[in-house]
Amino acid sequence: MASTTVAQEDQNQAGRHQEVGHKSLLQSDALYQYILETSVYPREPEPMKELRELTAKHPWNIMTTSADEGQFLTMLLKLINAKKTMEIGVYTGYSLLATALALPEDGQILAMDINRENYELGLPVIEKAGVAHKIEFKEGPALPILDQMVADKKNHGSYDFIFVDADKDNYINYHKRLIDLIKVGGVIGYDNTLWNGSVVAPPDAPMRKYVRYYRDFVLELNKALAADPRIEICMLPVGDGITICRRIN
């Protein structure tokens, strides 16, 4: 009887994950929920919980950084003693808030997004948390801003940490510029590098349109990062996959 139940659960689980594009990369929803309830939610700062729940009501909520990834970013920023950071792709600001809370009082974040309205949805929570003064928000495409920054040599090697969670078709273009702006020993984090698990899916696998569209760009990025001698990398199955790049020269 027990074995039959297990087999049924496995079959049900396989059905839930049949379509490439499932949010959790773990094969077990229950295991992911265990991580959230045991490790993440009990330690999640109240402002982050408030913003997460606010964002969950937004029609584009799939764009938000997952709670476990937010916890990871907080730990990473503290471990590297980051003070000056950049974020490309903000949405409602969950990862931005995680960063702002982790940085020291005089920390700085340059945040860029094409949609100010989404950012302003989460801004009241950020302000209530008392960390809005750490953030400089710029609305519009990031590439022109980055080009201006790279053109000024004083910006080279000036950032401790950069987080990218934006248009996947420009990840390679971002990397070409960010490598100059991050300091030696600094860290760049690229989000969604396992892209809903589609990076290992056969071409004819069922997947959502947006997943299929950006899949090749993510594959191209992963190949380029693995071959870049200027960085050390570590790809982690946290959230939708995050690749940590430490600049070494």
The predicted structure's pLDDT at residue 180: 98
Please tell me the class of the 29-247 domain. alpha beta
What is the 3-class SS of 76-102, one letter each residue? HHHHCCCCEEEEECCCCCHHHHHHHHH
pTM above 0.85, yes or no: yes
* Whole-number Å distance between alpha carbons of 166 and 90: 8
pLDDT tens sequence across 33-42: 999 999 999 9
Residue 226 reports pLDDT greater than 70: yes
**pLDDT band of 23, cuts 50, 70, 90:** low
The pLDDT tens digits of the residues spanning 174-195 come to: 999 999 999 999 999 999 999 9
pLDDT single digits (tens) 112-140: 999 999 999 999 999 999 999 999 999 99
Own/partner pairs, 120-125, CB within 8 angstroms, 24+ separation: 121/54, 121/55, 121/58, 121/92, 122/51, 122/54, 122/55, 122/92, 122/93, 122/94, 122/96, 122/97, 123/93, 125/47, 125/50, 125/51, 125/54, 125/93, 125/97
| Helix 116-128 × helix 94-102 angle, to 10° | 40
Block residue for tokens 């989404």: 118
